[in-house]
Amino acid sequence: MDNFYAYDKATWEQFYPTNLNPITLADLENLKAFNDKVSLDDVTKVYMPLVHLISEALASYRQWQDKKSDFLHRKPVKAPFIVGISGSVAVGKSTTARLLQYLFAYLLPNRKTQLITTDGFLYPTKILEEKGILARKGFPESYDMTALIDFLVKVKEGQPKVKAPLYSHQVYDVIPDQFAEINNPDILIVEGINTLQIPAEQNIYVSDFTDFSIYIDADVNLIEDWFLNRFQQLVKTSANDPENYLYRYTKYSDEEALAMARHTWETINLPNLNEFILPTRDRANVIIHKGPQHRIDQIYLRKY
Ligand SMILES: Nc1ncnc2c1ncn2[C@@H]1O[C@H](COP(=O)(O)OP(=O)(O)O)[C@@H](O)[C@H]1O
Ligand SMILES: CC(C)(COP(=O)(O)O)[C@@H](O)C(=O)NCCC(=O)O
């Protein structure tokens, strides 16, 4: 990790400029209502300075966009600033993405932020089955990368109403005929395990469209625990919903269901982490490292 500056929380906290208002107690209460899991200590000491840093990158991006338009004698187009969030399955990407969206709204009230997850660009289960790659869900070949790149091109062109397909963890599949609509926001957060990947068969990558990238990291045993905990929570909430994919696990004892989830982790998500996700870590602008209870213990900022 030679090309990163490494900071503990106490040092990183000091980078929040003293002339900016710190987040207030009332806002932290609102945040608690929005998400009662995330540590407020992490919010004030890690995420607030990070959001400030990203807002500086956004300002310099906008300046560069304007300079390019001036150079070309073209009318400036508002191309959204894209923040990519990567990391293992169940490391906390979507939780962090939603938190960042909340904090952008707080610190940058005049900027509109939207959020998508690349899960929506997974091939539907039917196609994964036809291709014989259902057991490779989440691996590079399980995503329709052409559709994802096409989506990013339209977003960057400043087009309104760009459609993004949606994925449901409950249905365990892409939802047919339902889309998120991305409407030329100032900031688009793109969250997904593949946002830093360089698939061999592509010559243009998600990271070519990403203006700031974050990788969420943790010890692999902790991530496995978080995956199993999330699985148990999702199974619990499916108990009265036979349509839910996870409903089938309610028929097994807790131990049996847990053993099946562990098998999924060991045969699919862990090999995917080791072969295709972790090797992309050092390309991120910032690595957030978490310890037990998801508490952040180190922040790495890429030097070059
Ligand atoms: N900062 C956090 N504090 C507490 N729990 C968290 C935090 N981040 C994620 N989790 C929990 O960890 C599990 C995985 O998080 P999730 O955001 O779904 O991960 P991902 O999107 O990377 O798959 C979920 O059960 C979630 O509630
Ligand atoms: C849809 C996913 C590829 C992406 O996961 P996420 O990062 O959203 O947790 C993953 O949740 C998944 O379904 N993996 C395949 C193996 C499994 O966990 O069932």
pLDDT of res. 140: 95
Q: Compute the distance between CA of residue 219 and CA of residue 200 in angstroms, rounded to an integer.
A: 28
Q: Looking at the domain assignment, is residue 196 inside a domain? A: yes
**CA angle (2, 89, 153) in 5-degree steps:** 80
Q: Looking at the domain assignment, is residue 45 inside a domain? A: yes
Q: Compute the distance between CA of residue 68 and CA of residue 292 in angstroms, rounded to an integer.
A: 45
Q: Looking at the domain assignment, is residue 131 inside a domain? A: yes
Q: Please tell me the number of the ligand nearest to residue 172's CA.
A: 2
Residues sharing a CB contact under 8 Å with residue 243, sequence separation 6 or more, in sequence order: 171
pLDDT of res. 202: 82
Complex-level ipTM beyond the 0.95 threshold: yes
Residues of the chain below pLDDT 50: none
pLDDT of res. 208: 94
Helices (H), the chain: 9-13, 25-34, 40-42, 48-71, 93-107, 125-131, 145-156, 220-237, 254-264, 270-272
89 CA distance to ligand 2 middle (Å): 6
Count structural domains, the chain: 1
Domain of 72, CATH number, reads: 3.40.50.300
Kindly write down the DSSP assignment for every residue of 105-135, as one continuous string. HHH-TTS-EEEEEGGGGBPPHHHHHHHT-GG
Task: Determine if ligand 1 sits within 6 Å of the CB of residue 140.
Answer: no
pLDDT of res. 24: 83
User: What range does the domain containing 191 cover?
Assistant: 4-299
Q: Which two tokens stand for residue 303?
A: 């030097």
pLDDT of res. 28: 83
In ligand 2, the atom with minimum distance to the C-alpha of 117 is: 8
In ligand 1, the atom with minimum distance to the C-alpha of 169 is: 18
Q: Please tell me the number of the ligand nearest to residue 237's CA.
A: 1
182 CA distance to ligand 2 middle (Å): 23
Q: pTM higher than 0.90, yes or no? A: yes
pLDDT of res. 200: 79
Residue 21 burial (C-beta neighbours within 10 Å; 0-12, 13-18, 19+)? exposed
Q: Looking at the domain assignment, is residue 304 inside a domain? A: no
95 CA distance to ligand 1 middle (Å): 5
- In residues, how long is the chain? 304
Look-up: residue for tokens 């090797």? Answer: 279
Best substitution site from 98, 118, 119, 230 to test ligand 2's pocket, by max atoms within 8 Å of Cβ?
119
Q: Compute the distance between CA of residue 85 and CA of residue 172 in angstroms, rounded to an integer.
A: 21
Q: Compute the distance between CA of residue 262 and CA of residue 238 in angstroms, rounded to an integer.
A: 19
For atom 9 of ligand 2, the residue with the nearest CA is: 89
What residues flank ligand 2, with Cβ below 6 Å? 89-90, 93, 119, 137-138, 193, 264, 268-269
Task: Determine if ligand 1 sits within 6 Å of the CB of residue 100.
Answer: no
